[in-house]
Chains A and B, each alone.
Chain A
Amino acid sequence: MEWECCWAKNEITPEDCPHIARGEEELYASQQRRVVEKCLGCSRFRNDIQKLRELHHPLAEVLPFIVEEFIDQKARLQSLGSFLNSKTWEIRFLHELNVVLQTSMDLDEILSIAMTAITAGKGFGMNRAFLLMTDKERQFIRGYLGVGPRDYDEACEIWREIGQNDLTLREMARNFQKTKLASEKIKFHDILEKMSVPLAAQQHIFNRALRERKPILIRDAFTDEGVDPELAKALGVDSFLIMPLISRNRRIGLLVADNCITHKPITLHDMQLLETFAFPVAFALERASLYERLQEEVDKLTAANEKLKEQQELIVKMEKMALVGQITSSIAHSIRNPLMIIGGFSRSLLKTTTGNDINRKNLESIVREAKQLEEVLEEVLSYADSLHPAMDIWDINQLLVGVSSRFKKRLEQTGIKYSCNTAADLPMLFVDYKQIAFCIRTIFSAMLEAPDVDEISVSTRLDGTDIVVEALDDGTASRREAGEELSPTASIIQEMGNNLGIPLCKTILEKNGNCLLIEKLPLRGTKYTIRLPIRKEGD
């Protein structure tokens, strides 16, 4: 019997069967596999069964049922196989996503993987996705990030790029985070702006999705009454999917996805798949934002610790200073009293000593030296006092007038002319009164002690961001050259007892960011300029 089909042959040639494709060559030699895979569906085989029927072969009547059932079962098996494959792929994909989402604490990394997963062909394959986050403080849902092409050309470019580099989802997400995340945030700025909605707008589709905790699939945005026309216009698509992101009853935000380029319909299956993905994304986003906040708190705590350490050092320093102050006070008491007794009794004796008395000159020397020692002591004590600054807001004019009034009597006694010219409306200064008063007092003393001084003038003025206090005398010469007064701190101790005041003033002022300049004037006199930058409390 000559058969049309090759089912009866052990081995065949390519001419015997037109259904064997390239890559299936082993079927030429395998009769069993060839019959099952090819012959049962072949029209030649059906013709051969017909021939058997004509020959009244007993199997000819049942063979078609068997073949039909076999083909049906085979199709069902194939369908189940492809279903299984697709589910396996989905599980693998979701597992890969979950691993990344569960292990990452970086908000940008989570955003990148989530948005790439939604838009990549290897992921959910949507064309475009938007992430909206709830801003609890401002009671708003805000557009945070948009990912995808803006037009067809850009889409082609992206797909070409993806096609060239066969990357895994994770690699794609990493690339996206590195090269595109920042620019994507700006790219959809206009749409994201329009997607912002107050949390109080209960009727808005976004709030509805968050309230009902269910995804919403919009099929015709332009006619759907529940969709804000402005939102439909901004997105420019009929169909889009809204996926709420809820983590442990907290409304984290929303995902909005569409197929703006391909206009491929979004199916219920797409929606279900995306819903499975929404929870880990919401959880990861919440965890990352909590971690970020925690990190901020840790940073704040670290900064506070640093400050505390500085404060502790300051306290130790201040305790040392306080000790210095106590010692100084104690020394003052111990020195000032005997000094006062020596000088006081010398003065008493001097009053009862005639001009011819040989002791008078000696007594005058004791009185003079005691007085000078008392002045030095006063300067040292004032300096020790100034080591504990008490910053407050002061009117420099008031301070100047207050200090100068102490010299009124001395000015009257010596007949030195005095003028004070203060500028009106000067800003208040944040300074230590005692320190600045000490400096002005010391400058006053220096001016009064200048030889041949007839006139003293002081003035204040505003110069840019500084307040300038200027003091002038017309003395012929100083005990020391004016410029030499500005000796460095290290040499201050050596100068003690000679003219300690001015170098101390310079040290005090400079320590507080101020400045003292002393100039010897061309003809006669000295000019003292104190420059005080205008600072506010907390500067």
Chain B
Amino acid sequence: MAKILVVDDEENIRLLYSQELAEDGHDVTTAASAVEAVARLEDKSFDIVVLDIKLKNESGLDLLQKIVKERHDMPVILCTAFSGYKDDFSTWLADGYVVKSSDLTELKDEIKRVLAKKSQRQEP
């Protein structure tokens, strides 16, 4: 079980992710904006962040940079509607990249993979 922060400006997506990931036994917290996400990250410790790139008037990539700068051990998975961002080098900072789909299998697999990698890194 992992503590996951989902950052997405779409309420229904946050709800869907919460339900689906909670079903798999994860502890899910959501944030609708970058400001809210920063506040959540300060309040609570998380194992992983699932981050949307387009957040209304903010950029998820700016938030990604901030997270990497301040919490370099915090894995981030980018989850976006547009696969074109994969070629943007600023997304390479993220540990994973998933194109949004109604089938959440890929996202769940990616979360598993990134968490496994994280735990491997933390092992002495």
Contacts and interface: CB of A to CB of B under 8 A. Distances in A.
Nearest to A336: B81
Nearest to A335: B81
A155 interface: no
A63 interface: no
A371 B104 CA distance: 12
Given A333-B54, A348-B19, A434-B87, A340 B100 contact: yes
Interface in B82-124: 82-84, 87, 99-104
Contact of A343 (B10, B83, B87, B103): B103
B84 A340 contact: no
B81 A347 contact: no
Interface string B68-91: 000000000000011110010000
Contacts of B57: none
Nearest to A338: B12
B84 A337 contact: no
Interface string A349-377: 00000000000000000010011001000
A378 B83 contact: yes
A355 B111 CA distance: 30
B19 A337 contact: no
Interface residues of B, number: 18
A371 B103 contact: yes
B102 A370 contact: yes
A341 B84 CA distance: 21
Given A346-B102, A370-B102, A341 B16 contact: yes
Contacts of B82: 329, 332-333, 336, 381
Nearest to A434: B87
Given A332-B81, A344-B102, A434-B87, A337 B16 contact: no
Given A341-B10, A343-B103, A346-B102, A329 B16 contact: no
A196 interface: no
A324 to B, nearest CB: 13
Contact of A337 (B20, B81, B83, B103): B81
A327 to B, nearest CB: 12
A368 to B, nearest CB: 10
Contacts of B20: 344, 348
A336 B79 CA distance: 12
A339 interface: yes
Contacts of A325: 84
A382 B102 contact: no
A213 B122 CA distance: 88
Interface residues of A, number: 25
B13 interface: yes
Contacts of A332: 81-82
A343 B84 contact: no
B87 A344 contact: no
Contact of B100 (A329, A336, A347, A370): A336
Contacts of A337: 10, 12-13, 81, 100
A385 interface: yes
A393 interface: no
Contacts of B102: 339-344, 346-347, 367, 370-371, 374
A340 B13 CA distance: 8
A83 interface: no
A345 interface: yes
B104 A344 contact: yes
Interface string B54-65: 100000000000
A347 B13 contact: no
Interface in B4-30: 10, 12-13, 16, 19-20
Given A341-B10, A344-B103, 5 more contacts: A333-B82, A345-B16, A347-B103, A367-B102, A385-B83
9 contacts: A333-B81, A337-B100, A339-B102, A340-B81, A345-B12, A347-B102, A348-B20, A370-B102, A382-B83
Interface of A: 325, 329, 332-333, 336-337, 339-348, 367, 370-371, 374, 378, 381-382, 385, 434
Closest 8 CB pairs of A and B: A343-B102, A336-B81, A341-B12, A344-B16, A344-B102, A333-B81, A340-B102, A340-B100
